Structure 1
Amino acid sequence: MINTKTNSKSRIIFLLIISIGLYACNNRESFSIEKQSFTTDMIIDCESVDCASIEINLLNIIGDGPVAKMINKEIQNTICIGLGIDKTSTTLSIKDIVSQFNTSYQNIRNEFPDDNIPHEATIDCELNYQSDNLISILIDSYVFTGGAHGNGTVSYLNVDTENGKKLSNSDLLKDHNHFKQYVEKIFREQHKIPENESINSTGFFFEDDTFSLPETIGFTSNEVVLYYNQYEINSYAEGPIELRLDKKDVSSFFTYTIL
């Protein structure tokens, strides 16, 4: 999990063009991806005021068509959710997101001057997988706004490259229950939970004592990744739980091409 303090004025925006060129044969949009980095002191004068520490390394789809714009919106929406920012505005830029997070910190600091707890956010986006009809973006976040510890989360943003829409787990799977039954067997084997015992018998806390798939399902070139974040099925101290399945074994469960 990333948890890196931002350097001050030494950082600059960088554009790293990822030479992948997402395209398809049926007159779909052609576009590429760049990586951009934003920190607080690129946007706000932090020499004269105490700022929140923010570093966001996001992917930006380069293209003028509606699909590119939709994917960029979904990426920014995911970042907003991670930072606890209202994502209802369709014109919210990444600079606006950084400014709003910092403004929230400034407001709390002014309201409670005796409890000045620095706020920190680090978010990194990586393109994990691409096919003709699907891209899977890994978003690794760490946010600290007070309390005993920060909140580190991993999520995958899966997007249909034909229309730019975010795909839910239900969109990805042909039969949710069938896949869940398959994964439960693997989960029990890996964590030594007998088939005739409760799924929570070894200390997990699945809701209603019933196995469930994680909220986060993503893809790499060879694997399907199932990622349970901290608190999802166990305590913070136990950490996240990750299952990696060979694509060749599970491709038939998915509605999209993953091989």
Structure 2
Amino acid sequence: MVFSCKKENELTFSEIQVTTNNNTIVEVFIPKATGNKATSKAINTEIENFITSLLEIGDPKAKTKPSSLTKQIEAFNSEYNNFIKDFPEVTQLWEAQIDGEVIYQSKDIISIAITAYLNTGGAHGNTNISFLNFDAATGKRILKEKLITNTKAFTNIAKTYFNEELTDKSILFEPESFTLPENIGISEEGIILLYNTYEIAPYASGIIEFTIPFEKVKSYLIFNSF
């Protein structure tokens, strides 16, 4: 009986595809949590809401927005169909490809990477990688600011690894200044710091990413049982 209860509360993930009957241009594959009902629901809701926001197009200040991921997928398709009606000479398809992956899971923290490629008819599409970190006990998302307990000390160490990774500072928008990226994730190798395209450098520079081993920064993290 105790073993059965423990197994029901274990958090596991499986990959699911989210689509609709009328969808032709959006591909969404994301991890779905099962196990502890409250925790898994919190994680799944956060992932779905995040993916929904990635697919938002049109007026960002619109009062009425799709209330679910499937409705947002339908809205994305509808926007494309309306665009083609207005500009029938355009032959380029819109597309959205979103993939989620659990890159780290422990009794304390879960880190999920979301890779999104969107092309809505521009010169080129845009790839963006986001890290979502969750408290494994509650399923609540841990924002970047709450992941680190000593930002100054962590930043000093991160700057050293950044300088080792990027020897040519001339490609940066502000080569003399260093700031932590918007996305900080966790892998088996350590803490991942990732700068998306346009975040600190032009499109041609691509995504800039490096990893700091746990032992170098674990005393500055909210969870240090790595």
**What interval of TM-score do these two structures reach, taking the shorter chain for normalisation?**
0.7 to 0.9
Match for residue 31 of structure 1 among 11, 14, 37: 11
Distance 1:210 1:132 in 2: 36
| Deviations 1:163-221, CA, capped at 9 Å, x for gaps | 2221111110011122112111222233337xxxxxxx5231139x5210111111111
Q: How many residues align?
A: 218
Distance 1:156 1:60 in 2: 16
1:101 aligns with 2:90: no
Aligned to 1:112: 87
1:257 aligns with 2:194: no
Q: Between the two proteins, what is the percent identity of the paired residues? A: 32
Matches within 5 A, 1:118-133: 118-133=93-108
Match for residue 70 of structure 1 among 22, 34, 42: 42
The gaps in structure 2 that reach 5 residues or longer are none
8 Å CA contact 2:193–2:209 kept in 1: the answer is yes
Distance 1:63 1:102 in 2: 33
The gaps in structure 1 that reach 5 residues or longer are 1-22, 45-50, 194-200
Kindly report the root-mean-square deviation, in angstroms, between the aligned alpha carbons of the 2 structures: 2.8
TM-score by length of 1: 0.75
* 3-state SS in 2 of match to 1:43: coil
8 Å CA contact 2:66–2:72 kept in 1: the answer is no
* 3-state SS in 2 of match to 1:249: helix
- Superposition misfits of 4+ residues, deviation over 3 angstroms: 28-31, 88-94
Aligned to 1:162: 137
Match for residue 142 of structure 1 among 112, 117, 120: 117
* 3-state SS in 1 of match to 2:32: strand
Distance 1:243 1:104 in 2: 37
Match for residue 43 of structure 1 among 2, 6, 21: 21
8 Å CA contact 1:52–1:118 kept in 2: the answer is no
Distance 2:107 2:65 in 1: 27
TM-score by length of 2: 0.85
What is the Cα deviation at residue 89 of structure 1? 8.9
Aligned to 1:206: 174
8 Å CA contact 1:225–1:243 kept in 2: the answer is yes
The structure with the largest helix share of the pair is 2
* Structure 1 pair 156–72 and aligned structure 2 pair: CA distance change class (3 A): same
| Deviations 1:16-62, CA, capped at 9 Å, x for gaps | xxxxxxx98xxx954322211235xx522xxxxxx642211111122
Distance 1:206 1:216 in 2: 19
Match for residue 52 of structure 2 among 72, 76, 80: 80
The more displaced of 62-71 and 144-153 is 62-71
